[in-house]
A = this chain, B = another copy of it.
Amino acid sequence: MKLYNFFRSGTSHRLRIALNLKGLTTEYVAVDLRTEAHLKAEFKAINPQGLVPALALDDGRMLIQSPAIIEWLEERHPSPALLPADPEDRARVRALAAIVGCDIHPINNRRILETLRKQFGADETTVNAWCAAWIGDGFDAIEALLAADAKRGAFCFGDAPTLADVYLVPQVESARRFKVDLTRWPLIAAVDAACGQLEAFRRAAPAAQPDA
Contacts and interface: CB of A to CB of B under 8 A. Distances in A.
A206 B203 CA distance: 46
27 contacts: A48-B141, A49-B99, A49-B103, A49-B138, A51-B103, A63-B88, A64-B95, A65-B94, A65-B95, A67-B67, A67-B94, A68-B92, A68-B98, A69-B95, A72-B87, A72-B88, A72-B91, A75-B87, A75-B90, A101-B102, A102-B106, A106-B107, A107-B107, A107-B112, A115-B130, A115-B133, A120-B120
Given A63-B88, A72-B90, A140 B48 contact: yes
Interface residues of A, number: 49
Contacts of A49: 99, 103, 137-138, 141
Interface of A: 48-51, 57, 61, 63-69, 71-72, 75-76, 87-88, 90-95, 97-99, 101-103, 105-107, 111-112, 115-116, 120, 122, 130, 133, 137-138, 140-141, 144-145, 148
